[in-house]
Structure 1
Amino acid sequence: MTETETIAYDVVVLGAGPVGENAADRAHAAGLSTAIVESELVGGECSYWACMPSKALLRPVIAQADARRLPGLAPANQGPLDAGAVLARRDDFASHWKDDGQVQWLDGAGIALYRGHGRLAGPRAVTVTAEDGTVTTLTARQAVVVATGTRAQLPGLRGLDDVRPWTSREATSARTAPGRLIVVGGGVVAAEMATAWQALGSRVTLLVRGKGLLSRMEPFAGELVGEALAEAGVDVRTGTSVESVTRENGTVVAVTGDGERIEADEILFATGRAPQTDDIGLDTVGLEPGSWLEVDDTLLVPGTDWLYGVGDVNHRALLTHQGKYQARIAGSVIAARASGTPLDEAPWGANVATADHHAVPQVVFTDPEVAAVGLSLAEAEQAGHRVRAVDVDFASVAGASLYGDGYKGRARMVVDLDEEILRGVTFVGPGVEELVQSATVAVAGQVPLDRLWHVVPPFPTLSEVWLRLLEAYRDN
């Protein structure tokens, strides 16, 4: 290992995924010299193994499901998807796992890229170890931003490494569809990947430890998605745990808590995420390696005046768009503090807004889609709000009928009865992903219900569900 030089920047960012890129871009745009460190591909998990390839896999599935609900589209109604064409398009969306374009963007933006493993080396210092063993030390005059994201968390089953299980990475980058696939988990990754690979020709068995899918969302969301998966041919088993896994002559054998043996060609564990902080030098600044980074609403790690944690590593919301929002806030905060500009840390501050995490939007790209923002009914009640849930079936919405026969969907708004605002909104149904932004505006902006009456939805669209929800609130 050869140390070469020490180079000073105003800001050093660990992790060049979308979150790290946004933090670096915002800091550099404010006139701060900025470096970013990445050990894998510039563009991160989202670009190559998560958001982009997974949605590229799912879009044809949803398009075909929409087509099957409509008359006059016979070719789209027949037969399975062309798996080869879908996977080839997926490869395009993942840039064939090459980061040339992302690197070009960094170069054009004037952000210095250091390839290698980055570790904190005490306050305001980062060492970067390149593949050839060369070590470069970067010092930060203003801030170090940790944006290293998360990795798949596998269960502690004996011999699991020998099985070579899929994680979300293998599930989004596989070259062919396995004949039989076991999916373990009940969250977003499990539901989406079961949806995709079933449609691409795999015989999927979905093993869910809990009572149902998408347990962190409104109960009807998981119920409707689970019903649709079963109708599509997925063997959905709730209340089922995996006690052991082996690979015998190339075949995966999973044994459930009931002693049943389930065989497959591959097994995907979608059982949670862990922070990528175990080997980034947290111990050199008095923090616990492998831990989530606690931050305040300016994304600063308490007890420091230079260390920031943005995106998944702070565990506020494991979503790319929310991490990018946090990164924009952090970049602006760092720039303001560097220039001595006072911060307006009140919500919706005119100078530098603090990071809000009460109106987080999310879409699950299954068939039907799930789109939600803010608190579920259970979360709102647990938080101490006096609330009421208002439910509407999409059958009452004229725009839903245009999606074809058999449209199944439901909407819920969680109303704060004391403040007459919305604490949360959930939509389930085909096409609802485009409704979530209007719900996010209503929840994040704390729009009074009496003002929402004057937001007129166009006819005939799915957005008429807003009028139906308001009418249900008024009439009951």
Structure 2
Amino acid sequence: MDSTRPEPLEYDVVVLGAGPTGENVADRVRAAGLSAAVVESELVGGECSYWACMPSKALLRPAITRADARRVPGLSGAVQGPLDAEAVLAHRDEYASHWNDDGQVAWLDSTGARFYRGHGRLHGPRKVVVDSSEGEHHVLVARHAVAVCTGSRAVLPELPGVAGSHAWTSREATSARAVPGRLAVVGGGVVGVEMATAWQALGSRVTLLVRGDGLLPRMEPFVGEHIAAALTEAGADIRLNTDVTAVVRDGGSGPVTLVLADGDRVEADEVLFATGRAPRTDDIGLETVGRTPGSWLPVDDSCRVDGSDWLYAVGDVNHRALLTHQGKYQARIAGAAIVARAQGVPLLETDRWGAHSATADTAGAPQVVFTDPEAAAVGLSLAEAEAAGHRVRAVDRDMASVAGAGLYADGYRGHARMIVDLDREILLGATFVGPGVGELLHSATVAVVGEVPIDRLWHAVPSYPTISEIWLRLLETYRGY
């Protein structure tokens, strides 16, 4: 045998990617007694811990808290000054663990999984090769499953001048060391509106450039309208139906100029492109197993890749629901399915809402957008429900119609909608926009996922005086009271 070639190391499961999804797959299979190896080329904890969920919410929390406080009589006068940007950025650094993953590596080690730091690539069925920056080379063989949990990455548009312009993506937007005087944000999705909210509150003059005719187009239309109004009141310049055609930045430093399709120009100190994501599958050896590098990986409801009996794609890479909590949910489902198949147990719970079926990805995925006001939605919107062929009714109420909203904030503005399946008398979806509505979402998620009958929801009594009384108002409206 060639002594220069390492002997393959066998594990029951090999996981590519140690973000929240990969960590949870490894934890689930280890808890069931299977051996596992986890491979990661960057930081254990992944995008969420260092460049997305945690640092972005650390930036947003002071902005939202100050906005809420300014709407409370007796307190508003004390919070009119600017945020302490230096303190906010330092707090952000703490929540990003100063981009050090020692704590998460220790947690992963505690599960009993073997961690390999390096670039992992598939090398044929059930085999993964790992090359580390220190020159180490490992060959890992999976007895039962390889789980691809490599996530997604932000994509810069192919525009003249983008290359070399040092444009921000979501990573730079959440880890920037200083507040830009002027920030142009291209894109009206979640990243765009959240980062516009955060940096506007920290002192940037924000210009938000949106190709479509509204913000957050995947949510109910009234959500984007409320958030656009609030951003405008805060000082942001929002331009809808606007296309950026080129970027000009001499030497990649100094001011940046965005050339618009109508001939206008926008100048800024930094530009954030929040215009989409792509799967991180371009260099993981998919071609060695008959797949296309750089592609999303379609899967069944147990997250097993279509046409394979050993390859799983969990989290963003399968393009079912690009949300951290949904990736962790899929990891629990996939982990249970991998264990059952490894133990030779038939997957008897693959039906809708079964233990081996990630049904919530398409029927009950919740999401909170941490802007001011917050937006929260679960399940289907009205347009999605109608497109799916359901016979539905949208029930709407002004959030300010409940006493708890007025107590929460003077001049409270918001809107609530539930989507009722008229044939089954259950909820298919719910959407809220308004200050503090993120904490309403789990009750809606339980109602949607649990397929709780409307008549039973009538007996779920909301406490007075809380904003959750909006449930009672919605039910009353539906019943015609």
TM-score, normalisation: structure 2: 0.97
Specify the alignment match of 2:413 in structure 1: 408
CA contact 1:399–1:461 (8 Å) conserved in 2 = yes
Q: Secondary structure at the match of 2:14?
A: strand
> For 1:160, what is the secondary structure of its paired residue?
coil
Is 2:283 aligned against 1:273? no
Q: Of 32, 35, 42, which residue of structure 1 is paired with 2:37?
A: 35
Question: What is residue 78 of structure 1 aligned with on the other side?
Answer: 80
Whether 1:300 aligns to 2:304 is: yes
Compared CA separation, residues 76 and 190, structure 1 to 2 (3 A): farther
In 2, Cα distance between equivalents of 1:113 and 1:404:
48
Name the CA distance, whole Å, in 2 between partners of 1:409 and 1:474.
Answer: 22
Is the CA contact (8 Å cut-off) linking 1:151 and 1:275 kept in structure 2? yes
8 A Cα contact 1:347 1:356, kept in partner: no
| Matched pairs, number | 474
Give 2:370's match in structure 1, choosing from 365, 371, 381. 365
Cα distance in structure 2, aligned partners of 1:243 and 1:353 = 43
Q: How does 1:325-474 map to 2 (within 5 A)?
A: 325-343=329-347, 344-349=349-354, 352-357=356-361, 358-474=363-479
Change in CA separation of 1:162 and 1:179 when aligned onto 2, cut-off 3 Å: same
Residue by residue, what CA displacement relative to the aligned partner does 1:90-142 show, whole Å, maximum 9, x if unpaired? 00000000000000101111111101111100000001111133321100001
Cα shift at 1:80:
1.1
In the TM superposition, residue 79 of structure 1 has moved relative to its aligned partner by 1.3
Matches within 5 A, 1:307-322: 307-322=311-326
Match of 1:182 in 2: 184
Does residue 206 (structure 1) correspond to residue 238 (structure 2)? The answer is no
In the superposition, the TM-score normalised over structure 1's length comes to: 0.98
Question: Partner letter of residue 230 of structure 2?
Answer: A
CA distance in 2, matches of 1:447, 1:57: 36
Deviations along 1:426-453, whole A, 9 cap, x unmatched?
0000010001000000111111101100
Give SS of 1:190's match.
helix
Q: 1:296 to 1:265 in 2, by over 3 A?
A: same
Q: Which residue of 1 aligns with 2:258?
A: 254
Q: Secondary structure at the match of 1:5?
A: coil
Moved more, 426-435 or 241-250: 241-250
In the alignment, the residues of structure 2 paired with residue 422 and residue 404 of structure 1 have an alpha-carbon distance, to the nearest angstrom, of: 28
Which residue number in structure 2 is paired with residue 244 of structure 1?
246
Are 1:297 and 1:356, in contact at CA under 8 Å, matched by a contact in 2?
A: no
Q: Is the 8 A contact 2:72 2:408 kept in 1?
A: yes
- The CA deviation string for residues 36-85 of structure 1, in whole angstroms up to 9 with x for no partner, is 00000000000000000000000010100000001222564221100000
The alpha carbon displacement at 1:341 in A equals 1.4
Alpha-carbon distance in structure 2 between the residues aligned to 1:231 and 1:76: 20
SS in 1 for 2:183: strand
Alpha-carbon displacement from aligned partner over 1:316-344 (angstroms, at most 9, x marks no partner): 10000001000011111111111111212
Aligned match of 2:127 = 125
Partners in 2 of 1:433 and 1:5 — Cα distance? Answer: 51
Matched position secondary structure for 1:313: helix
| CA–CA separation in structure 2 for the residues paired with 1:356 and 1:251 | 45
Q: Tell me, yes or no, if the aligned pair for 1:275 and 1:292 is still in contact at 8 Å.
A: yes
Distance of 2:75 and 2:142 partners within structure 1? 59
CA shift in 2, pair 1:382/1:96, >3 Å = same
**Alpha-carbon spacing, 1:3–1:76, altered in 2? closer, same or farther (3 Å):** farther
Letter in structure 2 aligned against 1:380: A
Q: CA deviation at 1:354?
A: 4.5
Aligned partners of 1:369 and 1:430 also within 8 Å? yes
In the alignment, structure 2 segments of 5+ residues that lack a partner are none
Q: Is the 8 A contact 1:346 1:354 kept in 2?
A: no
Cα deviation per residue 1:150-185 (whole Å; 9 max; x = unaligned)?
000111012312111000000000011000100000
Matched letter for residue 467 of structure 1: L
- The yes-or-no answer on 1:223 pairing with 2:225 is yes
Instruction: State the identity as a percent.
Output: 70
Evaluate the alpha carbon distance shift between residue 354 and residue 321 of structure 1 in structure 2; reply closer, same or farther with a 3 A threshold.
closer
Q: Secondary structure at the match of 1:215?
A: coil
1:356 is displaced (CA, Å) by 3.1
Which shifted more, 337-346 or 420-429? 337-346
Q: What is the root-mean-square deviation of aligned Cα atoms in Å?
A: 1.1
**From 62, 65, 68, the counterpart of 1:63:** 65
With 377-386 and 154-163 compared, the bigger mean Cα shift is at: 154-163
What is the deviation of 1:345?
Answer: 1.0
Query: In structure 1, what residue type is equivalent to 2:74?
Result: G
